[in-house]
Chains A and B, each alone.
Chain A
Amino acid sequence: MTAQPHINLQAPAQRNHVVGKSHAGWADRLFIEGGKGLLLVLLVVAVLLPLLAMLWRGFGGDGGGLGAAYELFSSANFRWLLFNSLSVSTTVALIVVPLAYLFAYALQRTLIAGKGVWRAISLLPLMAPSMLPGIALIYLFGNQGILRGLFADNIYGFWGIVLGEVIYTFPHALMILISALSLADARLFDAASSMGASPWRAFRSITWPGSRQGVFAAFCLVFTLTITDFGVPVVVGGDYQVLALEAYKAVVGQQQFGRGALIGMVLLIPALLSFGVDMWLRRRSRDSMSGRAQVYHPQPSRLRDSVFLGIVILVCAALLLVFGMAIFSSLVKFWPYNLSLVLDHYSFSDLPGGWSAYSNSLILATCSAVFGSLLIFTGAYLMEKTRQNTLTQILRMLSFIPMAVPGLVLGLGYVFFFNLPSNPLSGLYGTLTLLVVCTIAHFLTTAQMTASTALRQLDGEFEAAALSLKMPLAKHYLRVTLPICLPALLDIIRYLFVSAMTTVSAAIFLYSPDSMLAAVAVLNMDDAGNVGGAAAMSTLILLTSAGVSVLLATVSRGLLMRSQAWRQADERNLKPLPTGGASRLAGAA
């Protein structure tokens, strides 16, 4: 053991065959630092600076400042708006969350038939702009609605807004609660029944503690979505005004930017509060499910299943009625006098540019989905799988901001930042490019969390193994990481596409006549009294979103089938592979 064959410490340490490999190191550095740098630029320019611009405008600038703030907040009008917003949002949350909980419970903890169908129907509101439920309500309960006798006065006002928001926010709450109820440890239920606990007692001591955090999160999300939405109030609000609508009117109608910024800041408060509390709760309850948990399979129970089936059918029937009404009304020649079915409303003749709004939306949605998903997924990859440093930490923090910022507030920030003449980027204002940037930034957090979840399920040593085999990281990412995570990537693409098609909250402040969008056109046509046209455009958006979702789901399923050889085999032996995290992709505010 003491013989040392060929040690020569004096020999020059570094030799030439390192040189050939330093090329690979250089490419890796470009991929890692370049990717992170790009993400940093996007987050700073598209999220941080606009928000700071809004704060600056609210506290400083003309029309803002502390004096203006005091004047606004102490006015009776503002207090009336605030009271209206709070009562609408609270009412909506109190209706939606219990309803969504029952629905989610039916899907996750009972044995009712047709779960896939009910789930698909319940997701319909995600596929359309928030104005669509409002429009359908007018045709159902409005002055000339087919069911107008059901409401004492008419639909315009408090209950109209509440009903519209209930429909609009239902799937968002449902997604959170489905995922909250998906975790159940069968051993706990076995233990409870062996000790003679009734189903109700088991629910109170096992199911409810496990899901109440989801209930809180759903409540916060519904509250925030409702208080910042102006799509429903603008259609069915009538004289009942709310804050979100006021911010929209102040900026778009009256050019009162300071006032808009101040209201935007008020609307940011509930979002920030609920975001903070949710993060705190999440950290506290981490790892409450142990790794050895066994999957819970509900036992058959005819009474329970028929009750829940009844609830589910009622909810789905209501949703189908609303969406069917919207589609039907878009085909009616002249409501309510001539009910013959025609495609007149689909000509969009009184819309400047006509169909170009729809094609603009298609371009926006496609670009946001393609560029956004690649940027977000690659960014998440670099954040998860490369060496952690200060830049990674900064990126992590910045990428959580969009989650806490409602679209309305982000849009206002864009007005204040990109509309500054001194901003070298002001040339982007009003272009589709800026709309793409804004859409990606707006929906970044949820998409990135899906990507991170998928990436974390991969073996942490894949990258180390690739490096030891001298494979450039970018090439490894394309050859191994992306193919394995393809279902999650398609999920992100679908989420970004549908969100871009349906959102008005930020886009309403950023479009120009050349970059008119379909969802914005719905709002404008409704405003101009062309409710038939608005219904037609809403229907187009609905069909496009649903069609693309089905298409991507089919592609995803096809890919899963093709890769079945390794995916299924792998699940037996190794960690389960990511198949996509649909449950996370709900919170499009």
Chain B
Amino acid sequence: MTQHNMQVRGIHKGFGAFQALDGVSLDVEAGELVCLLGPSGCGKTTLLRCIAGLEKQDRGSIVIGSRDVSNLPPQARDYGILFQSYALFPNLSVAQNIAYGLSGDSREVVRARVSEMLELVGLLGSEKKYPGQLSGGQQQRVALARALAPKPSLLLLDEPMSALDARVREHLCGELRQLQKNLGVTTLMVTHNQDEAMLMADRIAVMNQGHVEQYATPQQIYNQPATPFVAEFVGQGNWLPFACGQDGSARVGGLQVQLPQAKALQQGRLFCRPEAVVINPHEGIDNQFHAQMRDVTFLGNRCRMNFELTDLPGLTLQAELSPEAMPRLASQDIRVALPSSSLQVFA
């Protein structure tokens, strides 16, 4: 499959007074899988529909490969799309569904292509079945085969996993990702589920209120969130308000806190992932405090502990640790460390 990159430049789209997209730009490299991640109403689906030509952007351009498709109708844009509902045509068999986009070719070519696609998604032998006779996961694969059959330059996935139950979902995420890698088809996927995005994406664009908050690899999104929104939306975290004294040291309540690097800020918020909190730390770690344990929740492969810093009552913090670490926490009074290397500073 020939690979195409895509450039989205300054897309604006309003619905009446509501600004759904406020100057969104996005580069997708050839063969890459990019996830648009965000809460509902953030504009991710609108962006996908603009790229698909199902909505007309007010301003901005979309280039796929070297073609400017900004003003082309959907039929001329050359993409395949997998909808949340799959939109399989119930009155057509699996083979007829897959052949739906192959109308220009000879019968032999179509038949060969359909078999090829069915083999690709592991459904050989289901040609004559109807979509209603397949399970949800199988339907998704047929819809994917149908979208890919005409060899599109771009694959669009609109919340592809949300109609499936959790157990099937994780398995299919991996399968879909593998398939996409093997074919090397440039792919843009919309999801509100961060696990799916983490599992599948080369890069994630976290969206909020019509713009892209951060566009980076999953590791960067998680470990170095660019904005408070990204930090809060992806994963769990603790927030600590701080103020800087005259001497440049930061104080959280009555506590002196070491920052990762000096910041020219009067005040701000510190962000720390629960798993970065160290319980009963050894001497070499900075930012050690006394704390009171409040409760512990057992989550199977890990435990979540709620605690308060002794000198900062009223602010409940979270730590995650392995269950083996639990028995050692005999008393209410513990020592914790929020290592400066794990702190993020936001204004």
A residues engaging B (CB < 8 A)? 1, 3-9, 11-15, 18, 21-22, 24-25, 28, 459, 461-462, 464-472, 479-480, 483-484, 563, 565-574, 577
Contacts and interface: CB of A to CB of B under 8 A. Distances in A.
Given A565-B130, A570-B131, A9 B63 contact: yes
Interface string B268-303: 000000000000000000000000000000000000
Contacts of B130: 565-566, 569-570
Query: Which of A466, A470, A483 gathers most chain B CB within 10 Å?
Result: A470
Contact of A469 (B53, B83, B101, B217): B101
A465 B7 contact: no
Given A1-B203, A6-B5, A461-B87, A18 B67 contact: yes
A14 B75 contact: no
Contacts of B73: 25, 28, 467
B147 interface: yes
Nearest to B134: A573
Contact of B66 (A15, A483, A565): A15
A538 B7 CA distance: 71
A565 B90 CA distance: 10
B80 A468 contact: yes
24 contacts: A1-B203, A3-B29, A5-B5, A6-B5, A6-B30, A7-B7, A15-B67, A461-B83, A461-B85, A462-B87, A465-B81, A466-B100, A467-B53, A467-B74, A467-B75, A468-B81, A471-B75, A471-B103, A480-B92, A566-B132, A566-B133, A569-B133, A572-B132, A573-B131
Nearest to B101: A469
Contact of A28 (B75, B90, B147): B75
Nearest to B216: A1
Contacts of A573: 131-132, 134, 136, 139
Contacts of B67: 13-15, 18
Interface residues of B, number: 48
A8 to B, nearest CB: 6
B208 to A, nearest CB: 22
A440 to B, nearest CB: 28
A571 B131 CA distance: 11
Interface string B9-33: 0000000000000000001011000
Contacts of B146: 465, 469
Query: Which of A3, A468, A569 gathers most chain B CB within 10 Å?
Result: A468
Contact of A464 (B54, B134, B150, B217): B54
Contacts of B232: none
Contacts of B29: 1, 3-5
Contacts of A5: 3, 5, 29-30
A469 B150 contact: yes
B72 interface: yes
B87 A484 contact: no
A18 B136 CA distance: 35
Nearest to A468: B81
Contacts of A470: 75, 101, 103, 150
B91 interface: yes
A11 B90 contact: no
In the complex, the 7 A-B pairs of residues with the closest C-beta atoms, listed nearest first: A469-B101, A569-B132, A570-B132, A13-B68, A566-B130, A461-B87, A467-B74
B89 interface: yes
A169 to B, nearest CB: 39
A22 B75 CA distance: 8
A5 B101 CA distance: 29
Nearest to A22: B76
Contact of B74 (A22, A464, A483, A568): A464
B79 interface: yes
A3 to B, nearest CB: 8
A485 B262 CA distance: 68
A572 B132 CA distance: 7
B52 interface: yes
B128 to A, nearest CB: 9
Contacts of A484: 90-91
Contacts of B203: 1
A14 B100 contact: no
Contacts of A468: 52, 74-75, 77, 79-81, 101, 147, 152, 156
A566 B91 contact: yes
Interface string B145-170: 01100101000100000000000000
A357 B316 CA distance: 88
B100 A7 contact: no
B87 A465 contact: yes
Given A7-B7, A464-B52, A21 B132 contact: no
Nearest to B74: A467
Contact of B87 (A3, A15, A464, A566): A464
B81 A464 contact: yes
A568 B202 CA distance: 41
B76 A18 contact: yes
Nearest to B203: A1
Contact of A571 (B85, B132, B202): B132
B150 A8 contact: no
Contact of B7 (A3, A9, A464, A570): A9
Contacts of A1: 29, 202-203, 217
B156 to A, nearest CB: 8
A21 B75 contact: yes
Nearest to B103: A471
Contacts of B90: 484, 566-567, 570, 574, 577
Nearest to A462: B87
Given A1-B203, A5-B30, 6 more contacts: A1-B202, A6-B5, A9-B7, A468-B152, A484-B90, A566-B130
Contacts of A3: 29
A359 to B, nearest CB: 37
Contacts of B5: 4-7
B74 A480 contact: no
A483 B63 contact: no
Nearest to B31: A5
A51 B252 CA distance: 78
Query: Which of B29, B84, B202 gathers most chain A CB within 10 Å?
Result: B29
A480 B90 CA distance: 8
A7 B186 CA distance: 14
B346 to A, nearest CB: 25
Contacts of A563: 91
Contacts of B92: 479-480
A455 B10 CA distance: 36
Query: Which of B29, B53, B79, B90 gathers most chain A CB within 10 Å?
Result: B90
Contacts of B147: 468-469
Contact of B89 (A8, A11, A462, A565): A462
A459 B52 CA distance: 18
Contacts of A572: 132
Contacts of B63: 9, 13
B131 A14 contact: no
Nearest to B67: A15
A14 B69 CA distance: 8
A498 to B, nearest CB: 28
B89 A480 contact: yes
Contact of A471 (B72, B101, B132, B136): B101
Contacts of A7: 5, 7
A567 B63 CA distance: 41
Contacts of B150: 469-470
B66 A465 contact: no
A11 B132 contact: no
A399 to B, nearest CB: 25
Contacts of A13: 63, 66-68
